[in-house]
Structure 1
Amino acid sequence: MKRFLYSIFISSSLLFSQEKIETITLNEQPLKVDQLIHIDNFGSLYYTVGNTFYKKEPHQNYNYSNVQLGSITSIDAFNPLKINVFYKNFNTVLILDNRLSEIFKVDFNSIQPYKNITHISTGADNTLWIFDQNSQQLELFDYKTNTVRASAMPVNSNVLHLKSNYNYSWLLTENHLYTYNYFGSSLSKIKNDGFLHIAEDNGNLIIQKKEGLYFLAKDSNSLAAIQLPQLLIKQFSLTNETLYIYTDEKLHQFQLKIR
């Protein structure tokens, strides 16, 4: 009951802060990709072109593609040693190492009970956060034992995006933004007020709306607008308070001035 009341409080009290997050322009470079995935702490760039996944390090490049599985739906590179590549059309996730070599394959078509997966993200150890369309539930799935370690309550709206770290996950639906802990318990439920996409770093969120990007600090219920030049944002990523924005063939790098 206490958790339920807390969720309702968060849902009804999300505020837009009077303060804005200032930014410092750090860099701008040409980049022509289909999708920007991630930039890690070492400056490695993860992206896709067509059905090929690339990792560009300062002195080494790697790439991965799977002709049999076709189009890549999403990639989660939160853990650079266990990168998750999701092929929705084949209900399959491939786990890659830091050189983009296959180390494990999770074929949900061969697992009982059958799961129809729409979104995935990284969990701790040998787990994935998965959203099963059949049950409308977020689950923490152990792909080595084919067992569900934790399940959240079903949601009743379409899922837009799923992000996670080792301890928490964030599920963005058309109606709400949910936060869950490692045990699948709901910690907060915020009304979706035009949220389109989210990025996460150290528990902090960047939330995209039509009018721009907003910062939601962990343990906060206040959205702060991020001051940026006029940009047509295609994708964005957050790493250690550094915001990367991919526009039309350019990668912009900004430092967030968080007080």
Structure 2
Amino acid sequence: MQKLFYILFLFGYLGAAQQQIKASIKDSTKLKAKNVFGVDTFGTLYYATENYAFHKKERDTTITYTNFQLGEITSANTFNPLKINLFYQDFNTVVILDNRLAEIYKIDFNVIQPYKNVSFISTGFDNTIWVFNQDLQQLELYDYKTNKVRLKTVPVQSGVIDLKSDYNNCYMLTENYLYIYNYFGSLIAKHKNSGYEKMAFSKGHLVLKKENQLHILSKNTSEIELVEHPKMLINQFLVTNETLYIYDDEILRRYQLKLE
């Protein structure tokens, strides 16, 4: 009886271990963009073109925001469509737009005291953004309405590669580790970076790129799993809930993530 229990347990374990995340192609869309920053659950596209313009494309309409003085957009966070954050690293400036792409706030870190040399930003809760202070090598939750730093994390010892967040967590990928913080700034998880170069995040699903292969850290799990997908050159990728988007050669492909 005991041997039978162990045999059943072993088969169950092996069956679970063989499960993997698979990306199945659903459809594709032609899109000419320099950078694709977001796709929401309704299919609204947020992207930038070569002329420094930021676009919000819905089914029948496209609206545009352009700031020629600030030039090229380094990153854009569209997690909160009512407060879209555009980061212009060359000018150390963040512009916040509403859902009609009207400018509602501008944060020029060059004139704010104390001065901040910012290399990454991402959305926080309320009137905050996560900023990586390059000079201090630390992550800060900055309240742009009050010009106050609500919290600071312990400085990191390696270069930062990417930063993503929502209202609850902030994910910071460095050359050595992936750090996960909660909204109190407490470190809740830490994973060794084994070659990850970029990441995308949505509703608890974190997708990481390593060469031309994608990996996923799903919500409520501690293991980074390989995603099975067609071999292709991955220039840009996004995730929205359980939907993966890969952009290359002016084609935006949509995949469904599912457990096999």
Q: TM-score, normalised by structure 2?
A: 0.90
Q: Is the 8 A contact 1:244 1:252 kept in 2?
A: yes
Cα distance in 2, alignment partners of residues 214 and 56 from structure 1: 28
Q: RMSD of the alignment, in Å? A: 1.2
Within a 5 Å distance, the mapping from 1:98-247 to structure 2 comes to: 98-247=99-248
Structure 2 unaligned segments of length 5 or more: list them.
Answer: 1-16
Per-residue deviation at 1:141?
Answer: 0.3
Q: Is the 8 A contact 2:20 2:259 kept in 1?
A: no
Q: Is the 8 A contact 2:212 2:231 kept in 1?
A: no
Read off the aligned partner of 2:242 and give its amino acid letter: E
Structure 1 unaligned segments of length 5 or more: list them.
Answer: 1-16
After superposing on structure 2, the runs of 4+ consecutive aligned residues of structure 1 that deviate more than 4 Å are none
Read off the aligned partner of 1:30 and give its amino acid letter: K
Read off the aligned partner of 2:40 and give its amino acid letter: D
| SS of aligned partner of 1:42 | coil
Q: Could you give the per-residue CA deviations for residues 102-158 of structure 1, whole angstroms, max 9, x where no partner exists?
A: 000111111111110000000111000000011111000000000011111000111
Read off the aligned partner of 1:229 and give its amino acid letter: P
Q: Is the 8 A contact 2:132 2:138 kept in 1?
A: yes
Q: Is the 8 A contact 2:212 2:234 kept in 1?
A: no
> 2:53 matched to which residue of 1?
52
| SS of aligned partner of 1:226 | strand
Q: Is the 8 A contact 2:19 2:259 kept in 1?
A: no
Read off the aligned partner of 2:21 and give its amino acid letter: I
Per-residue deviation at 1:217?
Answer: 1.2
| SS of aligned partner of 1:110 | coil
Aligned length: 243
Per-residue deviation at 1:18?
Answer: 4.6
Q: TM-score, normalised by structure 1?
A: 0.91
Range 17-26 or range 64-73, more displaced: 17-26
> 2:87 matched to which residue of 1?
86
Cα distance in 2, alignment partners of residues 85 and 148 from structure 1: 20
Within a 5 Å distance, the mapping from 1:22-61 to structure 2 comes to: 22-50=22-50, 51-61=52-62
Q: Is the 8 A contact 2:212 2:232 kept in 1?
A: no
Higher relative contact order (CA 8 A, sep 6+): 1
Q: Is the 8 A contact 1:19 1:224 kept in 2?
A: no
Cα distance in 1, alignment partners of residues 259 and 100 from structure 2: 34
> 1:12 matched to which residue of 2?
none
Read off the aligned partner of 1:110 and give its amino acid letter: V
| SS of aligned partner of 1:245 | strand
Per-residue deviation at 1:92?
Answer: 0.6
Cα distance in 2, alignment partners of residues 62 and 162 from structure 1: 27
Cα distance in 2, alignment partners of residues 120 and 228 from structure 1: 30
Q: Is the 8 A contact 2:24 2:229 kept in 1?
A: no
Cα distance in 2, alignment partners of residues 256 and 171 from structure 1: 23
Q: Could you give the per-residue CA deviations for residues 135-190 of structure 1, whole angstroms, max 9, x where no partner exists?
A: 11100000000001111100011111000000110000111100001111111111
Per-residue deviation at 1:19?
Answer: 3.1
